[in-house]
Amino acid sequence: MFRKSALSAALFLITATSNLHALGLGEIDMQSALNQPMDAVIELTAAGSTDLSKVKITLASQAAHQRVGLSRSRILNEFDFNVEKDRQGNTVVRITSHGAVHEPFLEFLLELTWPNGHLLREYTVLVDPPITMPATPARPVAPASQTPAATTTAQPLTSQTRSRPAAATVRTSAPVTATSSADSYGPIRRNDTLWSIAERLRPDNGISMHQMMLALQRKNPQAFADNNINNLKAGATLSVPSRDEILSVSAADAYRETTQQYAEWEEGTQSTDQGMPTPEVPAVTETDVTPESAVSTESRLQLMAPED
């Protein structure tokens, strides 16, 4: 089973609706992975006794996308949208495609029309790579009698071992809680993701997730190995960029830049896999901590949105 991608729904535009028969679009459940045909489900809320044959769900027009600052990607033209019942009897919108989806980020505007109303909703979806490797078992920790202050080396995190920060636990002897203020966030924990951090620090929905992530990287270049947003270093403390700094790059340019960095990161990962075998104990970037929780933190954290 593939991990569910996280999403953010940034816009609701409802016109000419009836309170007695107002339909709604719920959250999206991604059931496919990167480089696979699209397969996703969105719950159609408050369907009730609505005649489904009169419900129409489509991709919004190019003009509608432009009005909300979105670029309508070509891959979206290959998507099919159908209203149907799932196994539990719930009314859902199923999104499918014949061709594989190679873009890690998808942003699109859906248009829902029924006899008593009309609705537009924006979705930003992160398409996770498929899971192909099991997690590496934890190495045993030396007894305290041998080492006064034992040090545990965390395995580097890759796209195959991502987890949702909302349920994340720091796999060290003494977890360190990240704190945020108006101008800083940190220290970064092992299972933190740049996506979740950006979502927490983003001032409002007028700023895209890609703008926020890119602004964090540019504000804190020392916190990213190889100058890539997918290589966030554990233990680092991030300075929060100002709104002007965030908006210095347009949403479209930020999207292109983050997508390019993801492609470069993925290419580098594949090159490593095809080269020499990975050492049993990889090199990590260490961060000074208190003796009670002395740990050697890893150098790579991925930006992907985690699973439920």
| Domains by residue range for the chain, with CATH | 7-126 (2.60.40.10), 152-274+281-296 (no CATH)
How far is residue 85's CA from residue 95's CA, in Å, rounded to a whole number? 13
What tokens were used for 13? 């535009």
How far is residue 203's CA from residue 89's CA, in Å, rounded to a whole number? 39
Q: Which residues of the chain have pLDDT under 70?
A: 1-21, 130-181, 269-308
Q: Which of 219, 217, 240 is nearest to 229 (CA)?
A: 217
128 in helix, strand or coil? coil
The per-residue pLDDT for 152 is 39
Burial of 26 (0-12, 13-18, 19+ CB in 10 A): middle
pTM: 0.43
Q: Which of 103, 99, 147 is nearest to 294 (CA)?
A: 147
Phi, psi of 112 (to 5 degrees): -110, 125
Q: Which of 286, 3, 302, 305 is nearest to 172 (CA)?
A: 286
Do 136 and 155 form a contact (C-beta atoms < 8 A)?
yes
Do 137 and 157 form a contact (C-beta atoms < 8 A)?
no
What tokens were used for 168? 């994340």
| Number of helices and strands in the chain (H, E) | 5, 14
CB atoms within 10 A of CB 212: 23
The per-residue pLDDT for 178 is 58
The per-residue pLDDT for 159 is 37
